[in-house]
Structure 1
């Protein structure tokens, strides 16, 4: 993606706030891409996080579960599965995420300026805090609960419970 934007490795490292050597290792596949770096790179490249986790895709209106792209963060063991069919140009992406017990991610820096999110808990329990820039509001979510995260807000997601939490995130471009 950086070649399409005519960015040098150094340019991207500066934009993303990632050490040049680490970014080089990520690009060459010497180290695994973690959730922490996916967030920074997606903002620096101006693309959605799920787009960084995909390989070249064939357009199809149907996304069979067996063919859905999934990615496991080696640092947190969080598993993300892209549900939206590849290559259809959807304005809303659906991602299924599984947080093992003790997993946590901070998605506040930078905040989501051009997307809004909805989170629907399918199984387990989840803690989610929304940061609107002025305050941080925490929510405890159970299976069946859905929460809206407005554009311009960041969020923190954690699973402090004894069993895994599985949820769907709807990411809408505005």
Structure 2
């Protein structure tokens, strides 16, 4: 069963609002920590906005969770299998990249897998807000070409290449090619 954009925005709204409440943060406090305006956070929490990956990343950092966790199903599946038909699919409205949450969700799962289809010439820059401590990220390029700028270092990946990095610095994803790039992101929390 594929979720509609409205259903996914409602799920993101519930996760952001729930995480903010669990941490005892007001809208103003989250706005200050994330650099996202109070009014934008309010729209996101009401499911009335289709936020970009960059905005969601800033909120995730401020809430001290990986970006992928904002797409988690609020109730973990009854079995440890994430069936393709039930996996969360989301398109970034700014860059057009398509992300699929591949891994099952749950409190005891420390590794998350995300599949991404990145359009030709697309670019997404995640800023340098303090990121989660102890989160390792692997980017495994399955098809196409991808340039990743990690802090000041540019890495050009070809199909089959895998880049390891620890979150905590600015990261820019760029597809310099004329065809979509498809890659897997594996996030592991210590």
Cα offsets for 1:63-95 (capped at 9, x unmatched):
111111111111111111111112262211111
Q: Is the 8 A contact 1:61 1:88 kept in 2?
A: no
Q: TM-score, normalised by structure 2?
A: 0.83
Provide the aligned length of Structure 1 versus Structure 2.
Answer: 170
Range 157-166 or range 20-29, more displaced: 20-29
Q: Is the 8 A contact 1:111 1:154 kept in 2?
A: no
Structure 1 residues 91 and 32, CA gap change in structure 2 (3 angstroms)? same
Structure 1 residues 108 and 4, CA gap change in structure 2 (3 angstroms)? same
In 1, Cα distance between the equivalents of 2:130 and 2:33? Answer: 15
Structure 1: which 4+ aligned runs deviate by more than 4 Å? none
- Give the SS at the match of 1:98: strand
Per the alignment, residue 85 of structure 1 pairs with 104
Cα offsets for 1:112-157 (capped at 9, x unmatched):
43311111101111111221xxxx1112111111111135444211
Per the alignment, residue 149 of structure 1 pairs with 165
In 1, Cα distance between the equivalents of 2:31 and 2:68? Answer: 20
How far apart are 1:19 and its partner, in Å? 1.1
Per the alignment, residue 7 of structure 2 pairs with none
Q: Is the 8 A contact 2:73 2:105 kept in 1?
A: no
Q: Is the 8 A contact 2:91 2:98 kept in 1?
A: yes
- Give the SS at the match of 2:36: coil
How far apart are 1:111 and its partner, in Å? 5.3
Q: What RMSD over aligned residues (CA atoms) do the two structures have, in Å?
A: 1.6
The answer for unaligned runs of 5 or more in structure 1 is: none
Residue 109, structure 1, aligned to residue 128, structure 2: yes
Structure 1 residues 151 and 10, CA gap change in structure 2 (3 angstroms)? closer
Higher helix share: 2
